[in-house]
Amino acid sequence: MSSTSREAELSTDRLGPSKITPLPARTAANAPVPQAHGIARNPGMKLDLGFMESMRSVNRSALERRVASLTKRRSIKADNQAAWLLRAVACMDLTTLNSNDTDERVRRLCAKAVNPFRRDIVEGLGIAGEKIRPAAVCVYHPFVATAVDALRGSGIHVAAVSTAFPHGLTPLSTRLQEIEASVSDGADEIDVVIPRGLVFAAKWQELYNEIVTMRAACGEAHLKVILGTGDLATLRNVMLASMVAMMAGADFIKTSTGKESVNATLPVGLAMVRAIRAYFEETGYLIGFKPAGGISTAKASLDWLVLMKEELGRRWLEPDLFRFGASSLLTDIERQLEHHLTGHYSANHRHAMA
């Protein structure tokens, strides 16, 4: 691909139809929502070790400096801030992943997803005309059916964490059965984890093969590959694992399970979005990004949105290409939106809990 065409594609967010043939909108378990942006699903490619080699150079210090200045050099104020926070909600996978989850708890979460804001806030912001709410609810497998049921007709996707989440250390056949079970229960997004040991051992082919079979097991459901970046030790490993996941057909790459000791950090996010950019430049396919774990404040969500806009462009601020994995973030955003309307600082208990 010549540099000029790459540049045109990336710098302007104009994606010519000649480059990408949009597939029919995916079929969610529930009434499918027509996607604003038709997106060609990543078919994956052969494991290209040469391509990976060209991505090895990741300078941690430089990435840290970039995110430090990035978040200081962009400031979003007033009405724009409210709009951006709404965007964060629209790009949210509202999540509960606790060992004490119950069907009731999941139903409550789904209710919150369907109706995230107090009526006065919706009216005050003038957003009644557009249903702004989380893109998906993310649960463990046993609750998929419950969520599908609770979200029926809403257009909100159901994501299931899968493949021996959070560690990925059961036989592959078991993990694949898990995916199939969740898909058959109605999940249309599957968040799988990779066995981190394959990265440390540089068993790229084995990792690639596993993800390819997972993708096959997903069928129409979208595949998000969780790298467990907090376990991967270096940004180089994060970069290489990201490349393998995309080559193997991931629709999204995702940072963390939320169970590692280090969650989603901006330097990790920067490495991953640069991997996405390189993959796009090489193949023309758009891969989604999902930071997850520890993103609990409205301010933090803005930093991530800025990162996406600066590094990948406006196109990556849509829910088909960007998601937050979050649980308490929604409440903090609600408080900020109330403050935006009233000028009063708000309190958690003034907003319906999930």
Partner 1 sequence: MNILERYHAMDYGPAPEARNEADAWLAARDFSKALFIGGDWKAAGGGKTFDTSDPSSGKLLAKVSDAGAAEIDAAVSAAAKALPKWAAATGYQRAKVLYAIGRAMQRHQRLFAVLESIDNGKPIRESRDIDVPLAIRHFIHHAGWAQALDKDFPGQKGVGVVGQIIPWNFPLLMLAWKIAPALAAGCAIVLKPAEFTPLTAILFAEICERSGVPKGVVNIVQGGPEAGAAIVNHPGIQKIAFTGSSEVGKIIRKATAGLGKKISLELGGKSAFVVFEDADLDSAVEGLVDGIWFNQGQVCCAGSRLLVQEGIAEAFIAKVKTRMSRLRVGSPLDKNTDIGPLVDLTQLDRVKGLVAEGAKQGAVCWQPDVALPSSGYYHLPTLATGVSPANILAQEEVFGPVLATMTFRNTEEAIELANNTRYGLAASVWSENVNLALHVAPQLKAGVVWVNGTNMFDAACGFGGYRESGFGREGGREGMLEYLSAKLPLGPAIKPAPATTKPVERAEGDAIDRTAKLFIGGKQVRPDGNYSLAVATAKGKLAGEVGLGSRKDIRDAVAAARACKAWPEATAYNRSQVLYYLAENLSGRVDEFGARLTELTGATAKAARDEVDQSIERLFLYAGLADKFEGRVHQPPARAVTLALHEPVGVVGIVVSDNAPLLGLISLVAPALAMGNTVVAVPSEKYPLLATDLYQVIEYSDVPAGAINIVTGRSAELAGVLARHDDVDGLWLFADAETCARAEADSVGNLKRVWTGNGRSLDWTSTEAAGDALLRRAVEVKNVWVPYGD
Query: Total residues at the site for partner 1 (CB under 8 A)?
Result: 49
Q: Rounded CA gap, 293 and 326, in Å?
A: 7
Asked if 50 is part of the footprint of partner 1 (rule: CB under 8 A), the reply reads no
* Residue 131: active-site member: no
Asked if 78 is part of the footprint of partner 1 (rule: CB under 8 A), the reply reads yes
Measured from the CB atom, the residue of 46 and 77 that comes closer to partner 1 is 77
CA end-to-end span of the chain, whole Å? 47
**Using the rule CB under 8 A, which residue among 69, 98, 205, 342 binds partner 1?**
69
Read off the tokens for 46: 């052969």
| Min CB(350)–partner 1 separation in Å | 20
**Using the rule CB under 8 A, which residue among 40, 45, 49, 64 binds partner 1?**
64
Task: Please identify which of the residues 254, 309, 320, 332 carries the catalytic annotation.
Answer: 254
Asked if 236 is part of the footprint of partner 1 (rule: CB under 8 A), the reply reads yes
CB 137 within 8 A of CB 13: no
* Residue 72: active-site member: no
Residues in 304-323 at the binding interface with partner 1, rule: CB under 8 A: 305, 309-310, 314, 317
* Residue 191: active-site member: yes
Task: Please identify which of the residues 185, 191, 251, 320 carries the catalytic annotation.
Answer: 191
Measured from the CB atom, the residue of 151 and 305 that comes closer to partner 1 is 305
| Min CB(302)–partner 1 separation in Å | 11
Read off the tokens for 163: 């493949």
Dihedral sign (CA 313, 216, 137, 164): negative
Asked if 97 is part of the footprint of partner 1 (rule: CB under 8 A), the reply reads no
Residue pointed to by tokens 């999941």: 106
Residue pointed to by tokens 């009216």: 123
Dihedral sign (CA 265, 271, 275, 280): positive
- CA distances 105 to 61, 62, 97, 161, Å, are 42, 43, 11, 17
Q: Which helix (H) or strand (E) holds 71?
A: helix 60-73
* Span interacting with partner 1, options 72-80, 206-214, 222-230, 255-263, rule CB under 8 A: 72-80
Task: Please identify which of the residues 93, 185, 224, 290 carries the catalytic annotation.
Answer: 290
Cis bond upstream, residue 319 (ω within 30): no
- Here's the x/- map for partner 1, 10-49, by CB under 8 A: it reads as xxx-------------------------------------
Looking only at the bridges linking them, the beta strands covering 324-326 and 157-162 are: unpaired
Asked if 77 is part of the footprint of partner 1 (rule: CB under 8 A), the reply reads yes
CB 218 within 8 A of CB 190: yes
Measured from the CB atom, the residue of 23 and 314 that comes closer to partner 1 is 314
Q: Which helix (H) or strand (E) holds 73?
A: helix 60-73
| Min CB(90)–partner 1 separation in Å | 8
Strands (E), 45-142: 92-95, 136-139
Binding residues for partner 1, per CB under 8 A? 3-4, 6-7, 10-12, 56-66, 69, 72-80, 82-84, 86-87, 125-127, 129-130, 132, 234-236, 274, 277, 305, 309-310, 314, 317
Residues catalogued as catalytic = 191, 254, 290
